[in-house]
Structure 1
Amino acid sequence: MAAPDRDGELRRTFPALPYRSSAEDGFAATWWGTAWVTALEEGALDAARLARGRGYAERGKVDAITVTPGLLLAYVQGSRPRPYRVQVRLRTLDDTDWERFLNAAVERPGHIAALLDKELPHSLADCGVPLLPGPGDLAPRCSCPDSGHPCKHAAALCYQAARLLDADPFVLLLLRGRGERTLLDTLSRRNAAHAARAARDRGPTPLPGVRAAETLAARTPPQLPAPLPPPPHPEQPPAYPAAPGGPDPFALDQLATDAAARAHALLTTGRDPVGGLTLWQDAVRLAAARPGSGLTAGTRALYASLAEATGRDTAELARAVAAWRQGGRDGLDVLEQAWDPPAGRFDRARPLLLAADLPAFRPWRNRLTHPQGHVQLRLGRTGLWYAYESEPDRDDWWPRGTPDLDPVGALTGLGASGDL
């Protein structure tokens, strides 16, 4: 599956849901989530498989869930070390059904407000459009050898999907074919047009005074010129000459180039990409922006200045730069923060490594260490695995390779399996 930061309007990936106690009443909390579960259970051919799938879902055996139009996709851990790939398909709505749904949504102002509050009104679901699935509408497919309909792995995915629908009914609307941003933009335009028609039908309310059109007709100001388009990329700053007692030209060039890049991003996207960074994080970012992997004469002075300003040494900064180049702000967090991950993805990593003919890694918090002490995997808070290397019997870990959702994939490029 794609990494979470690659998701878009028609693709949403949700991290694995936490453990759920079987003592809780009902698997869904909302009426639409309950209707989803009812469609699953009434369309199933074997109650025993449903019960086992519900147990899998309660114990957190369903990994991250990806939702696209007409499709749910996830990996579910079964009785074997390698998880199964599970798909559940649901028919998308055609243009006629969407037109009927949008018209019904703007008929009452409360409909749009309810959707913004992550609620699905009964009246909107009963507008003649089959938003919620019925028995037999959910079409599962699993890589396991079980031919049941559904198998326990597909049932587990459906039960977890009910929890996603509870939290956000736009997940259901995405399954039916439309993304949240597109729907809200369309509803906003239609609601404005609906309000304008209603106001036109009521007619203007007569008020005392002089009509503005009569007052301004003879002196209508000219239209403002169209704003200039943003430049395609930030330009290079001018060369700064060295002057005795003046600032370092290399530092000025570095700061001016960075300021231009930030200003261009703010102009084109409306967001400052580094506005929320701490002093240390921003220093690491600036150092990592210099090309190359070694310290040249120019970058050595930059490293020394940044390390001194943040109260660190250049060795700490060089290690942090390697982490930033590996995974940005998240990669730096993985380097500096050990944490206790919930059950699920971390617990399944060791069987996956064993299945790839790798030795048993030693766990500690969010880290798995090779028994020979020269390779380590660290789980980030976004679900990605980061590889680290050290000299054997030394606690001197450096980031290596590219982060991956698969712990075995994160080790790619660090040496052959026999060397690990």
Structure 2
Amino acid sequence: MSGGHDERDEWYDEGLEGAAEERTFAALPPAHGRGFAVTWWGQAWLKALEDTALDNAQLKAGRRLARSGAVGAVSVRPGRITAVVSDRDRTGHRSDVLLQRLTDDEWDRFLDMAVERAGHIAALLDREMPPHLVEDAAAAGVELLPGIGDLEPECSCDAWDHCAHTAALSYQLARLLDQDPFVLLLLRGRGERALLDDLQVRSVARAAQTGQDEPERSADSGGREREREPEGARGVPAGEAYATGGILPPLPPLPVLPESAGTPPSLDTETAPAPGVDASAVEFLAAAATAEAHRALAEALAPGHAPIGPAAALTVAEDAVRLAVDAVRLAADAGADADVRVLARLAEGTGRDREGLRLAVLAWELGGAAGLAVLEEVWTPQGETAARARAALESAWEEGERPALRADRNRWTLAGGGAQLRLGRDGRWWPYRKVRGRWVPAGDASQDPATGLAGAGEG
């Protein structure tokens, strides 16, 4: 078949837009000295290919390409597999093999059959496809494996039948089918997760229906009443019951965001706290944790929010920095009404005095973690960073208007004045003002040194 788009494309690809799943497999290593299919279902796939192709020479050429590792990454989606296959001269060809997807009605029959026979599910989860699964599906009117003429080729080399490229792709797919029969089910239209979710829903519904029958009761030889299974009731083999435990139910709906964080329970009780336990500090931490949880939930439920991945591992030093920053954030959240003892504990825990904690809170409120780093970190600009800083200072003021600044590493202090510029590692300039002998954050950061110095009330 030519590589152009025709009516048959529409027949195979109808509804593929927005398909639930696509899997991409990295290029497999060369298959020297081994067959392409070991499992019986992989061999059935190759039989469908070899019975369909009209030119055995193209099949042999395809086997040579597949064995040499000429098939690139393989993309599998409902109704189609795709890969770039390279000739010996390294010319790449986009190659596709199409297989008709099962209809919704066929999927319903297959899933109903699978729910009735939990052993089929256990086999699939073990990456097996026993013959009786395919036979039971066929009895339900569902053909899982392809037959003669079912594998339709498309290739950019414009061959009208299976060429060496589509044959190589088909041989490579047989190796993937050996590893995971769910690849065939995806090609037929359903991905593994969607399939297992649907099976779980049907299993629950079936259990609810069969569970409505009340067990009959009878008397044993001693006259004691005992339950008797309903006529025709059958047990479930342990292997089948265990296999269905791996099918996870659908996720519950997202929780509704409360209007506020709420108030943790009070610890002001008649029982005195244990020695060394500061009840007011515990209450403060509980309230802060509640507020942070509410803030995190609001962010997670916001439209367009990306999924939260696993947290990155922290070194001991990074963890200490994070805890110090969290203490400042907690103090900032506490505000002016915080218990004096709580603020003293936070200051002590971060190695600051009360005034140092107040300055850290001010820096946090002005610039978050970046503002806090500028308050406490002294570093020396080097290389390109130093050149950029000098250029910014030279161009910030007109000739004759430039103030006299005394440089000390990343800090430039106005000569004879109470203002200072601090360069952050992000290239922004932070204004500081001297108050009662201590440098105090005076405003937001700026990309322009003149604007920053003006923020300190100078320049």
TM value normalised by structure 1? 0.51
C-alpha distance in 1 between matches for 2:89 and 2:294: 53
Q: Does 1:173 align with 2:185?
A: yes
- Determine which of 225, 229, 232 is the counterpart of 2:256: 229
C-alpha distance in 2 between matches for 1:259 and 1:131: 49
C-alpha distance in 2 between matches for 1:259 and 1:277: 24
Change (3 A) 1:124 1:231: farther
How far off its partner does 1:262 sit? 9.1
C-alpha distance in 2 between matches for 1:71 and 1:282: 48
C-alpha distance in 2 between matches for 1:307 and 1:92: 65
- Between structure 1 and structure 2, the one with the greater Rg is 2
Change (3 A) 1:197 1:153: same
Query: Please, what is the CA RMSD of the aligned residues?
Result: 4.4
Which residue in the other structure is 1:14 paired with? 25
Change (3 A) 1:75 1:194: same
SS at match of 1:277: coil
Amino acid at match of 1:136: G
1:11-410 equivalence runs, <5 A: 11-21=22-32, 23-24=33-34, 26-126=35-135, 127-128=137-138, 129-147=142-160, 149-201=161-213, 203=215, 229-230=256-257, 264-265=299-300, 272-279=308-315, 299=370, 302=373
Change (3 A) 1:198 1:274: closer
How far off its partner does 1:185 sit? 1.1
C-alpha distance in 1 between matches for 2:158 and 2:129: 37
**Is the Cα–Cα contact under 8 Å of residues 75 and 83 in structure 1 kept in the other structure?**
yes
SS at match of 1:10: coil
SS at match of 2:101: coil
**Is the Cα–Cα contact under 8 Å of residues 57 and 156 in structure 1 kept in the other structure?**
yes
How far does the alpha carbon of each residue in 1:14-59 deviate from its partner, in whole angstroms, 9 at most, with x for none? 11112222x21x3112111111011111111111211111121122
Change (3 A) 1:261 1:152: farther
How far does the alpha carbon of each residue in 1:309-363 deviate from its partner, in whole angstroms, 9 at most, with x for none? xxxx998xx9xxxxxxxxxxxxxxxxxxxxxxxxxxxxxxxxxxxxxxxxxxxxx
How far does the alpha carbon of each residue in 1:341-396 deviate from its partner, in whole angstroms, 9 at most, with x for none? xxxxxxxxxxxxxxxxxxxxxxxxxxxxxxxxxxxxxxxxxxxxxxxxxxxxxxxx
C-alpha distance in 2 between matches for 1:11 and 1:142: 20
Change (3 A) 1:119 1:298: closer
Amino acid at match of 1:74: A
**Is the Cα–Cα contact under 8 Å of residues 262 and 272 in structure 1 kept in the other structure?**
no
Change (3 A) 1:304 1:32: farther
Amino acid at match of 2:25: F
How far off its partner does 1:76 sit? 0.8
**Is the Cα–Cα contact under 8 Å of residues 266 and 272 in structure 1 kept in the other structure?**
no
How far off its partner does 1:193 sit? 2.5
Return 5+ residue gaps in structure 2 as ranges: 1-17, 219-223, 227-252, 262-290, 323-366, 386-459
Amino acid at match of 2:184: L
C-alpha distance in 1 between matches for 2:376 and 2:53: 66
C-alpha distance in 2 between matches for 1:193 and 1:270: 33
**Is the Cα–Cα contact under 8 Å of residues 262 and 273 in structure 1 kept in the other structure?**
no
TM value normalised by structure 2? 0.47
How far does the alpha carbon of each residue in 1:147-168 deviate from its partner, in whole angstroms, 9 at most, with x for none? 4x21000001101111111111
Amino acid at match of 1:162: A
**Is the Cα–Cα contact under 8 Å of residues 217 and 225 in structure 2 kept in the other structure?**
no
Which residue in the other structure is 1:405 paired with? none
**Is the Cα–Cα contact under 8 Å of residues 101 and 124 in structure 1 kept in the other structure?**
no
Amino acid at match of 2:167: A
Change (3 A) 1:43 1:202: farther
**Is the Cα–Cα contact under 8 Å of residues 104 and 124 in structure 1 kept in the other structure?**
no
User: RCO greater where, 1 or 2, for CA within 8 Å and sep 6 or more?
Assistant: 1
How far does the alpha carbon of each residue in 1:189-245 deviate from its partner, in whole angstroms, 9 at most, with x for none? 212232333343463668989xxxxxxxxxxxxxxxx9951489x9xxxxxxxxxxx
C-alpha distance in 2 between matches for 1:201 and 1:208: 18
